[in-house]
Structure formats: C-alpha cells, structure tokens
Structure 1
Amino acid sequence: MANGHVYYGSGGVIRVLSVTGGNSWAAITSLPNAGIIRGLHADGNLLYVADESGSLNILDITEPAKPEEIGRVTLPSQVKAVTIKNHRAYIAAGWSGLIIVDISKPEKPSVIQSFKTPGFARDVYIHHSIALVANNNHGLRLIDVSDPVSPVEIGSHDMEGHAFGVHSSKNYAYVASIEKNIDDHAGLTIFDISDPSTPVKTGLYKMEYGGERVWVENDKAYLAGVANDAGLVIIDVSDPSKPFKISRYHDATCSESVAISGAHAYLSHGDEGLEIIDINQPEKAPVISHWNAAGKTRGLHVVDTLAYVANGYKGLRILDISNPQAVNELGNHDTHRALDVKVMDSKAFLADDWAGVKVLDVSNPGALREISRIDTPGTAEKIVLAGTTALVADGEGGLRIIDFRDVKKPRNLGSVETEGYAYDIQQNNNYAYLAAGKAGLRIIDISNLMAPLEVASYVPDKGDIRGIRIVGSRAYLATGYESGLHIVDIRNPKEPKMINNYDTPRAARTVQMNGPHAYVGDLKWLRVIDVSDSSAPKEIASRLMPAQIDSISINQGKVYLATHDAGVMIMEMDDTVVE
C-alpha cells in the first residue's frame, strides 16, 4: 500500500489498484516485469520489486497509473523477498543468503554487501539493527546489520519444518513455517529476541500444515496458510506464550503472502489472485473484494496458429499466435485447475486436477462451451488422445482409460493403479507408458482397453521420472535431480533397457522431441540435447527462462514453453543460444 493505492505481483506483472472511499478498489494499470515478482515494498513514491530472476528493480510511482522504472541492480537468482529501512534494501536471496543494497540514489542502486546464510533465505524483516531471516531448513537467523559493510550473525534458533516467513513486533520475532515431516510442529513460532544473541522460543501455534508468510499488528498475527490451512489464519498473540486462533478465512488454494493496511488484510493466492479481507471483524474475516491474477501456465497444445493453454485455476485460454510479437487472447473458460490440454476435432480435452477430465467445444474460441466432464479418482495431471480414447495420468489414481465415442457421455473403460504417482503419459502401439515419479517408468499393455495390464517397469538408480516422450523404439525420460535425461530402449516393452543418460545440471522435469533433438525443461533452463547418437548424447544449446518450465510444445519451427508463473514463452528453433 502507498498513497491510496495497492500494488501486487501477478507472475511477471505488477498490478495497481486505486482505493476510494475506504472499501472500494479499482484496477488502474498493470506493468510487465522482466522476471517473476516475489516481493514488493512501497516507500513514499518508490516501489521496490524483488525479481526472482535476479534483480532489485526500483519504480517511480508518483503517478500510480504510470509507474516507471528508474533504477535496477543485478543480483543472484532466487530473489525471494525485499524490505526497506533507512535508505537500504535488504534482500532474502535464496542460496545467496542476505544481500544489502544501497538505495540512497534510487537511479543507481548498488550492492553494499552479502551475507551467506547456512541455508536458503526465504524472507527478511528488520528489527532495529537486526535482520531477521527465515532460512528454510535452518530456522531463524539473526544478523547484525548496524554496519552494512560487515554484517555478522549474532544469534539463531533451529526449528522443525521449513521457515518461510518472518515479522517482528515489540521484542518478539514471529516465524511462519511449513511442515517438512508429518509430525513437525509447524505453523507460527514466537521467539523472544530482547537479547538477539540468544533468541528464546516462547510460544507456538501449531497448524496442520503451516503458512508461508506472517504479518503482526495490534497483538494479532495474520498468517497466509497453505494446503489444509489455506487462506487467512488470525491468531491472538497478546500473550506470546499462549497464542490462540481467533478465526480463519478458508480458501481452496494455497496463500503465498499477506499484508495489513488499516482495516484490511491483503491476501495473495498466487494464480488465484488477491483477496481483500475485512479485519475489523476478526471473528468472521469476510472477503469483501477479489482481484484476479494471471494464473499459472501448466500445459499447452499448439495447433496451427492457435495455442491452447492449461492455465491452472484460470482454466483454458486460447491464444492467437499468428504474430508471435503480438499474441492475442481469443477466449477463455474457467475450470477447477487445468493442468494439461489436448485438442482434436474442435474439442479440447482438459486434465483438470481432482475434477477429472473436462471436454470443451472450441470451434468458436470466443464462445467456449462445456460438452461433458468425467471424474477420476486421483489428480488428472496429463492426457493423451488415441482416436476416441483418452489415456490419463491420474496422479495417485495411476492410469485411467476413458471412452469418448459419445463425447457427451464419456465412460470409464479400464484402469491400473500403479506404484508411485502418475505425472505424465505417452502411448505407443498397444502400450501406455507412465512417468510415475520415484516408481520410475511403468509400462502397461492396453491391447484390451477394458483390462489393461502392467507388464514391466524401469526405475533409475537416482531421480524421479516426471516427463516422457517416445520416438520409435526409444523412450526419453525427464528424471529429475542427479539423473537428467534417460534414453531407454523399448523395442521389447516387456524388457526396457537403459541406453544412456545425460545428467542435466538442475532437475529435468519435462521433455519434448524434435528430430534428433531433445528439448528438456531443467527447472528454469531449456536445454537442447543432441540424441542422434543415443550412446553419446550432448548438450548443444541452452537458455534461461524467467520461471520453471512445465510443458514444451514444438510447431512450425517455433518452441512454445509453458513457464508456470511467467505464462507462454515463444522462441524460434535457432534462438536457444548457449548462456
């Protein structure tokens, strides 16, 4: 909040709302950002943007409808949060720890110093001259920044779970955490930091799963809860040794951040947007306004000049990509949580998370119409079409086979509840190939669709298989950390044999094939691997994206990437330069 305006991040876009009359908000503008926005801090007429791709951006918001970038400083990637005090910006920068930036000249910000914390810095808050850092697996760190050139850690306290968010009030630090193990005491932990060298745990409010961020004001702690605690949780902390819940606003989607201004809590729900909650009524905490976000791009299917985008909680979106420099949205349709899409005969088949499979008539992109839906017992992650049959990677539900001969009345044909979690699926001849996480590749004979039978598996020594593509007698597997791309001989599906692997530097999560090249989504990196000689695969190009790559589609000489928070990225085939 600043000068009667609300600023919030939506993937790679800053959105601005004006506030009038105390309880009325209006969208006035949006501004694209180079990377994913992980934190915003407004101070006077300046807005400080924590850009996850690796920078602190400074905007002049004197005219809120026309924010203008006036300064930027390059930082390591994994920037997670920013807070401002006394002409300095303090950055929680992931594996790089705490970074201190001189912002006395906003047009020329400069790094003063960095301090490497022992783990992954997720959030930072300044208490007097102490930087409180929520440090993931390494709990709370207290760093003396009175001399910004020589920051010194003077205290720390380990915690169960993952420390995600931190705030302070009076002489107490409040840490929001998420459970790591099922019996962790995660949620809100309160520390007495009157002596910063020896923080003392004074209270705990245990949540079922935990929260990502916390804000403390007027003896109340407001937590952005996740999973079963999703929504806003309001806790009375007037006695720091005995915190207790006043109320909560429950939401189906995880919350990522919370800020308090006056009588309102501003709760960020990632791809679900921003909710504004009246905290003058803490026992009820009613939502009085909702503002949409861009959604998270999870899957896409490109057909000629149209891109069909599975956009998470924002459903299906259809984009005209005939001019890649001027992409135009033609239509959209809300679903529960679209994770994948395949299009055939003017129909879109959506893998819609726990809501199963939904079929839409897309013959008129401007007037999409639902034709039918069918539930699945698990989480519908990916879908492939084989004539009038759909094969679904159904998460914990394994393989589901659905008959769409009568598209208005789909029916279940057969299923196999395999080991592991079904993330991706491909079909080749009479076999279905499931990418089943740590349970590896599961191979299923589907010659009888009503009685599919698992006949073989391939489990790598390391990693977990999240993506798969098949070309001829080869299966190309995205197998995560310390494993990369695996090439498997499936000439005999009942006896799969590893040919070779290429260990990517990060974690291979998705793969697409084009001729002799494998395009691998290695978290945020797109890597092109030459597999023409499968016994000696080699990387020939790579490019860093602003967000994690969830899906890859190749069509007419262009590469289309579903990049989670950053939307759809379009590249020429020869644009994957080595960086």
Structure 2
Amino acid sequence: PSAPVLLSSTFGRDWVTYGVAVRGNVAYLAKGKTVQIVDVSNPRKPATLGRYDEAFNALDIVVAGDHAYVADGPLGLLILDVSDPGNPRWAGSFDTEGFARNILLKENLAIIGDAQGGLLMLDVSVPGRPEPVGRFDTGGAAAGLTVVGNHLYVTAEEDGLIVIDISDPARPRRIGSCDTPGAARGVQVQGNLAYVADDHAGLQVVDVSSTAPLRFLPPFRSASGAVHLFLEGAAGQRATIQRTADFNAWETWRQVVLPQGPLEIIDPAETSARRFYRAVGH
C-alpha cells in the first residue's frame, strides 16, 4: 500500500470517466454519454467488451444481478440490462425531476442523490418498472452517499454530514448531522467513524457512534424568572429551537449547533411566560 503502481489505463473518444463499478473481472464505467463495459481479468491489458452510447450524462453507476443502475444527470435513473456485457441494452428509466448525481443500492431499493438537494428512493425489484417509495430533502446538494445497515450517510456540501434512518424508506427521518468546516463532498463509514471528503478543509473524521435523538433535560427557572433549557444530542448536530404559548403556532426561536454535552439555552424572563419548547434536528 505504501508504493502503488499504475498497471494500465483505458481511454477513448469520450475520455471523461465519472464513476466506476466492478463485479468480478468486469468494470462498468459511467462516462457522460456512454456506459463502457471493460474486461479487467488481465489488469495490464483492459479490453472493452461493450458500450451503451445513448446515456445523457452518466455520472455514477452500480451493478446488481444482470442490471446496471446509472445516475444519468437531468434524465434521472437509467437501468441497463448487462446480462450480455458485449451488448448492454436499455431496460428501464425514471425521471427524478432533478439532476441525478450519484446512486447506491440497498437490496431492491435504489437511492439517488440529487445535485439540487434531496434524495429519491425507488423500488427496483422490477428493473423495468422502478417505483418511487420516498423522498428526503437534504437542504444542500446530496454529493455523496453510503449506507450501513438502516443508516444512510449523506454529504450535503455546505450542510455537512447528515445521517438518515431508512428502515422505513417511505418515511426516511434525520437522526443526526454534523456541520463540517468545508463543503462535504463524499463519505465512507468504517465502524463508528465517518470519513468525510470536505473540499478545501481536507479529510474530516466524524464519530457517528451516537445517533441518539435530540432531547431536553429537565429545565429550571432562575430567580430572575428566566427559563434555563438544556438540549442534548450528538456533538455537531444542528437544531432549530421552536417555542409556543398554545401548541398551535410554533415560532422559530434559535438555531444551534450542539457541543459535547448538553447545551444550555436561556429564555429571558420578559419572553418566557407560558412558553413551551421543542427541538427539530437538521
């Protein structure tokens, strides 16, 4: 590992390669208007097996069974039948109504990250008829995706790292986040650590062992009448504190980033009479 050596490379008229998937001795390349399939059984002499030249802007690709799933930019999801690597054929598609930037698979669930902000989850159990299951608004662009169990880790550029529970794909829910100093572009998770490619800020290593939901500890009212609130959650998680006097109209009151340990928030006496509070994670 300390001395990697380049063995070979493959180029073509469409030399820009954005994404790659490898299964066995075959590599699948997302190359803009082309999906190229390459035999890499001899790593010193990769050989093209087949091409699909009708993609629009293939940016990312994953392969499962006899199908390749492609994030195809403004055209959304492209599904190819690659049972014959020498003759890849169109098998299905789905217009995501955004800009499909990346994709991953979790069993029969395709999760597509959108460059304009958000996730789309599709049931691809029948590849020719993908069906929408759920959506999630990430705020910033969904630049990178990785999944561990039922936790989806999303890098959302200026919005940092977001952790989403997808145990029910129809109702994905945010369970944690960490605002990184740069623009979070990509993520990989190993054990309790997330490794985030953070643009100009380099590599950020985030402890994701705690994805506990936000919760208030018991508050108290000081002699001055001010209410002292204590909010607990994962360090680095962002939250909006809302308050109400009647449980009908909730006012957005504070935007906070949680430190290690509980965060104290003080509502002064002149504004805290008959107030109720809740925290919403970002």
TM-score by length of 1: 0.36
* Structure 1 residue 137: Cα displacement: 2.0
Give the structure 2 partner of residue 79 of structure 1.
Answer: 58
Q: Does 1:33 align with 2:4?
A: no
What are the Cα deviations for residues 367-404 of structure 1, in whole angstroms up to 9, with x where unaligned? Answer: xxxxxxxxxxxxxxxxxxxxxxxxxxxxxxxxxxxxxx
Give the structure 2 partner of residue 220 of structure 1.
Answer: 193
Q: One-letter code of the match for 1:220?
A: L
Give the structure 2 partner of residue 374 of structure 1.
Answer: none
Q: Does 1:199 align with 2:178?
A: no
Against the structure 1 CA distance between its residues 47 and 208, is the aligned structure 2 distance closer, same or farther, given a 3 Å change threshold?
Answer: same
Conserved? CA contact 2:134–2:170, under 8 Å: yes
Give the structure 1 partner of residue 120 of structure 2.
Answer: 141
What are the Cα deviations for residues 440-491 of structure 1, in whole angstroms up to 9, with x where unaligned? Answer: xxxxxxxxxxxxxxxxxxxxxxxxxxxxxxxxxxxxxxxxxxxxxxxxxxxx
* Structure 1 residue 83: Cα displacement: 1.2
Match of 2:35 among 42, 56, 59: 56
* Structure 1 residue 244: Cα displacement: 5.7
* Structure 1 residue 207: Cα displacement: 1.6
Conserved? CA contact 2:117–2:140, under 8 Å: no
Q: Does 1:233 align with 2:212?
A: no
- Structure 2: how far apart are the matches of 1:84 and 1:189? 25
- Structure 1: how far apart are the matches of 2:49 and 2:29? 12
Against the structure 1 CA distance between its residues 235 and 244, is the aligned structure 2 distance closer, same or farther, given a 3 Å change threshold?
Answer: farther
What are the Cα deviations for residues 316-339 of structure 1, in whole angstroms up to 9, with x where unaligned? Answer: xxxxxxxxxxxxxxxxxxxxxxxx
- Structure 1: how far apart are the matches of 2:125 and 2:43? 33
Percent identity, aligned pairs only? 31
Give the structure 2 partner of residue 94 of structure 1.
Answer: 73
- Structure 2: how far apart are the matches of 1:146 and 1:218? 29
- Name the SS for the 2:185 alignment partner: strand
Conserved? CA contact 1:122–1:135, under 8 Å: yes
Match of 1:155 among 134, 153, 161: 134
Give the structure 2 partner of residue 47 of structure 1.
Answer: 27
Bigger relative contact order, structure 1 or 2, given CA contacts below 8 A and separation 6+? 2
Conserved? CA contact 1:236–1:243, under 8 Å: no
Largest Rg, 1 or 2: 1
- Structure 2: how far apart are the matches of 1:58 and 1:93? 16
Q: Relative to structure 2, which stretch is displaced further, 110-119 or 194-203?
A: 110-119
What are the Cα deviations for residues 412-456 of structure 1, in whole angstroms up to 9, with x where unaligned? Answer: xxxxxxxxxxxxxxxxxxxxxxxxxxxxxxxxxxxxxxxxxxxxx
Match of 1:208 among 165, 170, 181: 181
Q: Does 1:23 align with 2:28?
A: no
Q: One-letter code of the match for 2:171?
A: T
- Structure 2: how far apart are the matches of 1:69 and 1:172? 36
Conserved? CA contact 1:235–1:244, under 8 Å: no
Conserved? CA contact 1:122–1:134, under 8 Å: yes
Give the structure 2 partner of residue 164 of structure 1.
Answer: 143
Against the structure 1 CA distance between its residues 109 and 192, is the aligned structure 2 distance closer, same or farther, given a 3 Å change threshold?
Answer: same
TM-score by length of 2: 0.72
- Structure 2: how far apart are the matches of 1:244 and 1:90? 36
